[in-house]
Amino acid sequence: MTTAQYQDSDQRQPICFTDLPPPVRRSIYILAGLVRFCPISLNTEGVNKAEFLAECMAYCLDIPVRDSNSQANSRCFYRQKRSWNKCVVASPEGFDCMCMPLPIALLRVSKAVHNEVSSILYAENMFRICRSDQGGLSSLFALSSAALQSLRSLSIKLNACSCVPNHQCSDDDYLINSFLKGCQECHMTCKIGRDFPASVENAAGRELISERNQLLPRLAMYLSPASLRLSIVCDTLDYATAKPFTDVSIQLPQLAECSIRLGQAPNPAVHCLAEEAVYRLTSNPTDHLKPFNFGALPVEIQRRILTHTDLVSPFKVAWYHGGGLSTSECCRQCTDALEACFCSVRHAAFSSMPCQCWVFPSALFLVSRKLHEYATEIFFSKNTFVAYPGDASPDPPDSLHLLCFFQQLPPTALQYLSNLRIELSGLDYHLVDSGTEFQKNWTMAIDFISQNLVLHRLGLRVVDETSRGATEAWYTTGVDDSAELEAQEWQLYQHLAEPLVKLKSIKDLWIHFSRPVHGKYYGDKSLELRQQREIILEKSIIGDAYDNAARGKFIGRDRLQAKDDEIRRTIVVGSDRTKVWLPDNRPPFNEYQF
């Protein structure tokens, strides 16, 4: 009986691929490369992808910083752009992804496999297309009705200018700087914008409008309601050109998310067009867009509302000596494809996707005298200000930047300043000593704080970012005289803390040293010594009962975090809006095999 069963089972027909459970087949498709982390370009994907990859490789071989790894064509520059806010060796011509071609041969296996693959391909990937790139919009027009119905993420660049008005990236400069910095003028998501603003007054603009009027009705006919995240860039010259675009876009069905950019430079009137269109397309109420009498509200409610405006920055407000206030770069959350920035503070744009980009809200200070008073109080009391030496700091280093920072603040704002961080760099024990220029300016700055700021509500953080330099003993013998260095560094910090005794009544004082250096080459004893010295100086100024940890010295930050605290770190999400990795758990640099 057992033998007969064995023979019967041995004669069974092999299992067909379509007999596998749907979840298993889906996993096989994905393992074959059907779903990508990065957006799929409709301009270069398909039969032209091999040629495109060859051009990419030729371009990268011209970059001085490169490797000859045979797996270079598997690099995903979009991942770099999404996670690091930069894109290494990506060119202005759009060579920003060198992922392997999609397994489109699966579409030709059978009708059943074709239907499954097509559904997964268009529903689980992000797509992008640019009118000025290879093939224009022809690939989007060629998509079947079923493909359009399955789309869940689409970015369309009808007309994309540089992120900086009247600027275009220089190929030569970009080749030289791409590995480290890229274009010095443009943000990474806008670097490949090379079109000129569209206008109804010229033939190119009218041609764009005609093509746009053909595309949007086709999308409106086949898109599935409330399922697509759509981003459209159509940089226009003026309101007259932007208005017809929003009128035509109303034909589209309800969208899951929508981002619209109508101009490279901020323009209130054009911004309102984009905002109204986005709200209508996402079926969000627009009642809040109507004006109301803000001044008729009780004062307490007015002030409460103002705390929810850009008067309160989502991150630290950085001030650089010689540069003034510094704003953050694109949040990278206002669009899936990162083809262009849709942040409303930087462009005539609006997005229903999360966007926390910030610029100084100067308009709120110009409404009325009373609102100016409220805005001043909220801005300076609710934000943390960081004073950096900046590129204009002298050599040898000086503490003059702190005095310059206070001089630029309105006198009426000083009483509200409640959180201040002072950055110092390049310190040496020869500089921080009685009678030196550094110590004179440092003492004057602390005197100014004690006389003009309200100490009982001020939190002051003094941070030294100086690294330890090599001593003469190291150069001659190769041995670092750590004991001598530690004594000199302790003397330096004691001199630095001497003027701070005038701040005895301050609410909070946190001192952060960078030396003695600690790490695997120095051991934990250096860190313990540094912490002990910080505590000694803090207590010598405020009192023995002061507990820096209880007062929040280490809350919400790594005490060794570099001086990019003011940069907000966003969570990275994939095409299905699920978390890909958290900010502090990003892929290591060597993953990309540069």
Task: Read off the pLDDT of residues 183-218 as tens digits, 9 standing for 90 and up.
Answer: 555 665 555 667 888 998 888 888 998 999 899 999
Nearest partner of 442 among 504, 520, 528, 500, judged by Cα: 500
Give pLDDT, residue 50. 60
Residues 268-279, mean pLDDT to the nearest whole number: 92
Gap between the Cα atoms of 263 and 216, Å rounded: 19
Rama region for 319: left / alpha / beta (φ>0; ψ in -120 to 50; rest):
beta
Give pLDDT, residue 471. 47
- Helix, strand, coil percentages (3-state) for the chain, rounded to 5, are 40, 10, 45
Nearest partner of 357 among 380, 337, 324, 335, judged by Cα: 335
Nearest partner of 229 among 152, 315, 298, judged by Cα: 152
Pair 99, 56: CB distance under 8 Å:
no
Looking at per-residue pLDDT, the higher value among 386 and 8 belongs to 386
User: What global pTM score does this model have?
Assistant: 0.71
Is residue 388 very low, low, confident or very high in pLDDT (cuts 50, 70, 90)?
confident
For residue 348, give the 3-state DSSP assignment.
strand
Does residue 460 carry a pLDDT above 60? yes
Give pLDDT, residue 191. 56
Gap between the Cα atoms of 475 and 472, Å rounded: 5
Percent of the chain at pLDDT > 70 equals 69
Q: Are strands 508-512 and 385-388 parallel, antiparallel or unpaired?
A: unpaired
The residue with tokens 């997964």 is: 120
Residues 338-350, mean pLDDT to the nearest whole number: 82
Specify the range with the lowest mean pLDDT, choosing from 4-13, 36-45, 345-354, 376-385: 4-13
Looking at per-residue pLDDT, the higher value among 489 and 392 belongs to 489
Task: Read off the pLDDT of residues 298-312 as tens digits, 9 standing for 90 and up.
Answer: 999 999 999 998 899
Q: Which amino acid is at 226?
A: A
Pair 383, 419: CB distance under 8 Å:
yes
Residues 348-370, mean pLDDT to the nearest whole number: 84
Task: Read off the pLDDT of residues 528-584 as tens digits, 9 standing for 90 and up.
Answer: 788 888 888 888 888 888 887 778 777 644 333 333 333 333 333 444 444 433 333
For residue 197, give the 3-state DSSP assignment.
coil
Domains in the chain: boundaries: 389-542
Write out the two tokens for 96.
Answer: 């920003």
Specify the range with the lowest mean pLDDT, choosing from 10-19, 342-351, 407-416: 10-19
Give pLDDT, residue 481. 53
Looking at per-residue pLDDT, the higher value among 459 and 178 belongs to 459
Nearest partner of 420 among 387, 466, 382, 390, judged by Cα: 387
Give pLDDT, residue 270. 94
What mean pLDDT is reported for the chain?
76
Does residue 361 carry a pLDDT above 80? yes
Residues 498-526, mean pLDDT to the nearest whole number: 75
Nearest partner of 398 among 369, 420, 428, judged by Cα: 428
* Four-residue CA torsion sign, 218, 221, 227, 233: positive
Give pLDDT, residue 340. 78
Pair 352, 259: CB distance under 8 Å:
yes
